[in-house]
Structure 1
């Protein structure tokens, strides 16, 4: 921190020095006329007295008077002729001198030339301040700048130390560490960003811990059943009983396979938008394909599935496989809790976004639990019964699918009192990369040429 202070101070001193140098060299050129006129006004009385003094003693007396005047004035006063000074003056100064005007040669010292009678020119020069006083003046200016910088840096330094201590504590594993700066602090916005980053990291770490706890819990149950089933197979039993045990073991193996597949899917989606293969998709065909996949499951539960696509855009850019997977997860979730009806709806949202929703007429989800249902392995049922809650990964996958498309998913209360999940897929950059100004999808010619995939390929 001290190094930063020294750099700042040196930068301020350098800037001030350059400013002084610029003033010394540029101002005499820019304001020469104005400064000269002011000097003439200031020296008008002195000029009048000096001319009168010289004119009062003509002839031989003038030489003695001028010698005495030179002796009294010191070495910085001299009497010259116009011919002596002409090579050192510019044309403008020469014209002023011939016109009887005082000519100022320097802006910061009293260095001037004054025409006298009989072609004589008096030149006088004395410093406004001697070198010691000038040095002291610059020291005072430097100290004033130093105190100003220290005053400004004090509060900045104090807040930076707080932020540094918080970062060190956070790095040491105290994830709840936050910075509490004043709203008047220079780093207030930076502190807010740090706190937001720390909160997100803490949430991520907590989610990873919960995820590992959930994975261990979910894997132990089927593994224990497998171990118990294998032990039973080793004991003598009839063929029918043995066949039942084998079927149970295969079911446990399939359950483990499904769990690992869900975990791999969630892991890939956590990597972000790079996992999405975006393309133009027919919204109607996508919805119809998803509904067709769920017909058998819905018929087994004696439920009614209503599909509504009125008002939906004809086409949208998304990854059809990921979106179909999210909708299937929502429909399976609705099947578990619906009493009679499930509604699958597609519509146009704000700014042309595609909104896909699934709602049921089940018991719904309490408001205090709605924010947590998207967490991996979370179930409302404390018993974690898979017959009512699955693995607890389906809604987490739905949320990740929405996020990789730049959208989001919300849980609301349905009109029927059940749960309504709505996925919003905004219009993204891909729409600009593959524009269709006609407002329709790719033509048959484009499909046949292989420029764009056919809709039937998107929903397989």
Structure 2
């Protein structure tokens, strides 16, 4: 196995650690608890359980050595009966002589082998004769056999004489304490992370322009302070937006008043040579006022609702056709998305109108993304925009080179309004080269 260089280990570990606050907080709690429990368990088995087991095994081996030596001193049936009676009464050992037998060839050992090693070590120290033992056949007893000239001396001893049998209780309480500790930690961390998640959801909703009630901050003191600061900032931003919208609406109203008087005077005036040109200028002024107000307002107060993408694109296509372009619509059947209808209609109409103004053929398409999002494209066969000027095209009031300035109507807010609407829905608009040879505007919205 090839090891990573020391300099790459931090990056390797970072990629495999949880990225969420919930996961990292849980790891901070779980990892020390697990390390502590493993250390405590190891210390218990190494310093206590094995020591106690070794001492018990040594005591049992001493009793067995007494029985073997007592029988070796007088191998008569009468002495054997005395040894059996004393062993049963004083040591809880069952001693039996099996005449003519030999030790079994099969060796049976436990899975861990701790008891077997301790007992074998003790018996080897105490006995000079060959012996055999089995700690696995009987759950509550240990079978020990010692070779004698007359046969095999078999001793059945209670298991607790050779091993500390209550160790599992300690392990059980350790596991219960670990589960309780981790359960309390998980509940506490979940509550703290939930407060941060609510704050993130509120910030995301505000970024999409959705109106939400002021939520009550909860969680740790620092989280409540951050939530309160966010709500204060949100209120300040909303007041600024409302003031800007009110100012531009007032300016729009003030400009419409003299514009209306000019229209009325022009309608009542006798026909003259420049009348049509003046009407065109007033139409353009009114369109400019509408664009200024739409850019400032952005339909932020409009509620989102499910709309048919097919109907949306067909409506935008009709507007583009009135500009003289041939329009093709490609959309999946039954495609529905939750959007702010007027705002998104304005965005798509701006893109389609922009494409129709600079190309003869326009294609509008939409499809659902595997991630659950939505992708819409508006393409044309016009002159396009150089790649290094794509971001410049989104700047408010930006008027690009003459190849894209054939349409005199407008003030350079179409793409800016469209991107503002897309970002208000959590998505974005990017520009690229169309397969038709012109410009492609790609709208991506999250699911």
So what's the TM-score if we normalise by structure 2?
0.38
So what's the TM-score if we normalise by structure 1?
0.37
